[in-house]
Amino acid sequence: MTTPFTPYIPNTDADRQAMLKAIGVSSVADLFQNIPTAYRNPPLHIPPPLSELELRRELETLAAENRHAGAGPSFLGAGAYNHYVPAVSLAIANRGEFLTAYTPYQPEVSQGTLQVTYELQSLTCQLLDMEVANAGMYEGASALAEAALMACRVTHRYRVAYRDTLSPSYRAVVATYTAPQGIELYPVAPGAPLKPETACLIVQHPNFYGYLEDLTALEQTAHKDGALLVVSADPTAATLFKTPGSYGADIVTAEGQPLGLPLSFGGPYIGLFTCKSQYLRQMPGRIVGRTVDTQGRTAYVLTLQTREQHIRRERATSNICTSEALLGLMVVVYLATLGKHGLRQVAELCYHKAHYAASLIAKLPGYRLPMNGTFFQEFAVQCPKPPREVNAALLERGIIGGLDISDAYPNGMLLCVTEMNTREEIEALAKALSATR
């Protein structure tokens, strides 16, 4: 059987014959004899393969249909944020020794990868003001869900409370993790007591609408009833406001995407996970430790591995399997490049630019800010017409608007302003909103 030429299948007819001979069959068709003839070669109705040049043009045409954040002003946030990514981050992450390394099961040949993970853990603890951190989770939402399960293991309680200002998508992921285990998930209003036998109180800080929560009061509410305080934090905001750890949080998670990871149309991202040292044995994932070898040289090893692949299944704390080492490397490079003062400068720019935008919009006829309190880089706006119409009008002017949150506030829109938005862009946004009354 002669196969049509394609640049994506390098095997020649001679190669195929050699492989067939090695496994003891005369043709490729012999490999599929157990499949009924009627189902063996169904028509696929797909076009013939394209050349590399044709394929590149096709993909470029499809990609051009997307509007990405770098193509013009964008004020969309809600969990994925348009921050500046230093060139050095991608330059280092694209080095072959990092890009092709998957997971450090052989410490003797993985010292570089292990050191990066160790640095990620150390920097995460400093950033969130917590005692221990793991080697990274899938992303912020599943990290928070793992925190809820961990709280249940620590307290031997099976109720989880959350503030209703938690991200709806985060709440959905937590529900997906907790429901199969019979864990009750319920909202709690400000000042309301927790139900008996509640394992933890989940708080997002800043919350989904961009505003700071009263963590002092919420910490008292949780600990008074013997529950843990679990905080889903914004790592950029943690460089400007009091850290979650300073409020007495027991477990703190975060989405690491703002720390040097491109938006990438939603991923891949990295979840940050920290807790108090007394709960270390119940932490999901893995922990890298630093020690010395027999010759007194610094050495890095996987110190704690609590998933079922490494220990007895009944003692495992999670089944998170993938390695976040490459994304963790980019986070480490970002944090090391900007440093303490650079990180604070980014946070201050986000804060002041967001407040400047809010001050302009609040003056527009038909627009108002429905929430009170301190916000960071996101804020809610009530529009004079449905947000979908407002966003359509903005897009005609080349501006990506905000997220429709009409389910929370009538004609509500969630806008986000970061250091990437210039004064001219912010003023153009206000002008465009004024014209869409």
Q: Are 346 and 419 in contact (CB under 8 A)?
A: yes
For residues 304 and 388, membership in a common domain is answered with no
Q: How confident is the model at residue 213 (pLDDT cuts 50, 70, 90)?
A: very high
**Domain-ending residue, one of 289, 306, 334:** 334
144 burial (CB, 10 Å; 0-12 / 13-18 / 19+) is buried
Please give the pLDDT value at position 226. Answer: 96
Dihedral of alpha carbons 200, 206, 208, 214, sign: positive
CATH number, domain with residue 402: 3.90.1150.10
Distance CA 198, CA 224 (A): 11
* Per-residue pLDDT tens over the stretch 92-119: 999 988 887 666 667 777 888 889 999 9
Residue 428 sits in the same domain as residue 385: yes
How many whole angstroms separate alpha carbon 416 and alpha carbon 418?
Answer: 7
Give the relative orientation of helices 111-128 and 325-362 as an angle to the nearest 10 degrees.
30
Same domain, 329 and 226: yes
Backbone angles phi, psi at 387, to 5 degrees: -55, -30
Percent of the chain with pLDDT over 70: 94
Residues 96 and 234 in one domain: yes
- Is 231 domain-assigned? yes
Let me know if residue 64 belongs to a domain.
no
Q: Among 413, 407, 437, which residue's Cα sits nearest to residue 357?
A: 413
Q: Is 58 part of any domain?
A: no
Query: pLDDT digits over 169-190, tens only?
Result: 999 999 999 999 999 999 999 8
Last residue of some domain: 309, 334, 359? 334
Sequence-ordered strand ranges (E) for 135-183: 159-163
User: Is residue 139 a part of any domain in this protein?
Assistant: yes
311/222: higher pLDDT: 222
Percent of the chain predicted with pLDDT > 90 = 76
| Residue 315 and residue 395 in one domain | no
Same domain, 210 and 285: yes
Residue 348 predicted with pLDDT over 80: yes
Domain-located, residue 57: no
H-assigned helices in 235-324: none
Average pLDDT, the chain: 92
Q: Which domain CATH number covers 296?
A: 3.40.640.10
| Residues of the domain holding 155 | 87-334
pLDDT, mean of residues 282-286: 88
User: Does residue 4 surpass a pLDDT of 60?
Assistant: no
Alpha-carbon span 170 to 370, nearest angstrom? 23
Residues 232 and 204 in one domain: yes
Lowest-pLDDT choice from 16-30, 87-101, 299-313: 299-313
**Same domain assignment for residues 353 and 251:** no
Domain assignment present for 61: no
Model confidence band, residue 1 (pLDDT cutoffs 50, 70, 90): very low
Strands (DSSP E) contained in 131-199 are: 132-133, 159-163, 184-188
Q: Check the CA dihedral 207-210-215-221 and report its sign.
A: negative
Q: For 386-418, write each residue's pLDDT tens digit.
A: 999 999 999 999 999 999 999 999 999 999 999
Q: Which of 279, 305, 334 is the last residue of a domain?
A: 334
Give the distance, in angstroms, between the CA of residue 223 and the centroid of all CA atoms in the same chain. Answer: 28
Q: Count structural domains, the chain.
A: 2
- The predicted pLDDT at position 99 comes to 81
* Within a domain: 9: no
Is the Cβ–Cβ distance between 137 and 109 less than 8 Å? no
Domain identity same for 125 and 155: yes
Residue 361 and residue 265 share a domain: no
User: 236-280 pLDDT, tens per residue?
Assistant: 999 999 999 999 999 999 999 999 999 998 889 999 999 999 999
Identify which has the larger pLDDT, 311 or 196. 196
Judgement on whether residues 162 and 293 belong to the same structural domain of the protein? yes
253 and 370 fall within a common domain: no
